[in-house]
A = this chain, B = another copy of it.
Amino acid sequence: MVRRASSDDGERPATIRDVAAHAGVSVATVSRILSGTYPSAPATRSKVMRAVRELDYVANANARGLAGASSRSVAIIVTSVVSPHYAHVAQGVQTQAALEGKLCIIGTTNGGPERELATVQLMRQEHAECVILVGNVVNDEAYRERMGEYARALAAAGSQLVLCGRPALGPDVPALVIEYDNTGGAYAITSHLLSAGHRRILFLGRRDGYTTPGARVAGYRNALADFHQPHDPGLEVDGKMERSEGYRMIRQRLESGPPDFTAVFAGNDLIAAGARQALREHGLRVPDDISLVGFDDLPSAADIDLTTVHVPHEELGRTAVRLALERRQDKSGMSEHVMLGTHIIVRDSVRPLRGAGQ
């Protein structure tokens, strides 16, 4: 049970001064003992700890932050927290942060660059140890300039910008970049389809200018080229990375005639789920009639037996905070770039094409 020394119970919370008085030592001693990082006599130590317990004292993070002790928080900025991709990265960030005794501040932007700016400013106010920006984005000049400013402003404030699954900036920009291999994964899974004899492979979810779909479509094209397949732009369908878009794209394609493809490479698992539904509604079964693969390896991919590319979402988040924190110690200053691997997960959504060999 919580007891309180002062007469006015329930009033203002106990300060370090109250603890010091209660234990009969100075505030400096209390501070040092609580920080842990200092020698102290066992007797003093136990006196202080008892006072802390009896007064139910918790340190004031604001005062602590002000007085110089490095802030104990890590910030993550995503477009939305319900999107599985972001949720998993956020989970990784939160896990690693908790492991290091930090807590995690989260902001969402809903995609708007101005909201992103506002959120970065907030995190700057809050003196987060690092600010992790995650996700797909258009990679134009405006973007690079904006990120450069973020990076410099954060570095000046003793913080650190981390780009997670976003394109790197110049080497003179003080940012940490954690990517995963979109192109390699797309290459591998396209090869998987090609090896099974498929030649006409529909790519769903191209989106010019955006980094993630861009890298995936590049892997797709590379694989086709290595199998000496002609590049047919008609097989690349534009669309956003959402379930409803996958449904729409297949729907439109099938309404204009019978399928001119034997396999579908969906830009991510959500698109794959939507595409699968549209295919079924047209009487086409996966994988018997059409083969289907996705990208991301969300838990829901297992539900529909989808062969897909595994993305280490949580590890992405964990690595981001781990590297950011260890880099802060030796403030080497400049850019750093990490690329995490991806690999395909074979389930049951691809069938070899009968009479293969062309």
Within 8 A of B (CB), among A50-101: 56, 58-66, 71, 73, 80-82, 84, 87-88, 90-91, 94-95, 98
**Which residues on the B side are within 8 Å of A73 (C-beta)?**
105, 126
Contact B98 A153 (CB under 8 A): no
A155 CB, min distance to chain B CBs, angstroms: 8
Contact A2 B149 (CB under 8 A): yes
CB contact between A104 and one of B11, B63, B87, B107 (< 8 Å): that residue: B107
Q: Does A199 contact B (CB under 8 A)?
A: no
Contact A87 B98 (CB under 8 A): no
A158 CB, min distance to chain B CBs, angstroms: 8
Which partner residue on chain B sits nearest A121 by CB separation?
Answer: B58
Q: Beyond the given A13-B158, A62-B66, A81-B94, could you list 18 further A-B residue pairs with CB under 8 A, ordered by the A residue number?
A: A2-B152, A10-B156, A11-B156, A12-B156, A58-B124, A58-B157, A60-B125, A61-B62, A61-B125, A61-B126, A62-B64, A63-B66, A64-B125, A98-B108, A103-B119, A104-B105, A105-B106, A273-B303
Within 8 A of B (CB), among A260-295: 273, 277
Mostly, the A contact residues are helix
Contact B91 A127 (CB under 8 A): no
**Can you list 18 contacts pairing A with B, beta carbon distance less than 8 Å?**
A58-B124, A58-B125, A59-B125, A60-B127, A61-B125, A61-B126, A62-B66, A81-B87, A81-B94, A82-B88, A94-B107, A94-B108, A98-B107, A98-B108, A104-B105, A106-B106, A277-B303, A300-B303
Q: Does A122 contact B (CB under 8 A)?
A: yes
**Which residues on the B side are within 8 Å of A12 (C-beta)?**
156
Within 8 A of B (CB), among A128-178: 149, 152-153, 155-158
The distance in angstroms between the C-alpha atoms of A108 and B149, with both chains bound, is 32
**Which residues on the B side are within 8 Å of A200 (C-beta)?**
none
A239 CB, min distance to chain B CBs, angstroms: 18
How big is chain A's contact interface, by range? 35 or more
Scoring A58, A73, A82 by chain B CB atoms within 10 A of each residue's CB, the highest score goes to A82
Contact B13 A156 (CB under 8 A): yes
Q: Does A243 contact B (CB under 8 A)?
A: yes
The distance in angstroms between the C-alpha atoms of A14 and B116, with both chains bound, is 22
**Which residues on the B side are within 8 Å of A104 (C-beta)?**
105-107
The distance in angstroms between the C-alpha atoms of A149 and B60, with both chains bound, is 19
Interface string of A28-69 (1 = CB under 8 A from B): 000000000000000000000000000010111111111000
The distance in angstroms between the C-alpha atoms of A273 and B12, with both chains bound, is 50
**Which residues on the B side are within 8 Å of A63 (C-beta)?**
62, 66
Contact A105 B108 (CB under 8 A): no
**Which residues on the B side are within 8 Å of A88 (C-beta)?**
82
A294 CB, min distance to chain B CBs, angstroms: 14
Contact A243 B303 (CB under 8 A): yes
The distance in angstroms between the C-alpha atoms of A84 and B87, with both chains bound, is 9
**Which residues on the B side are within 8 Å of A149 (C-beta)?**
2
Contact B107 A105 (CB under 8 A): no
Q: A62-B62, A125-B60, A126-B61 are in contact. Are A153 and B2 (CB under 8 A)?
A: yes
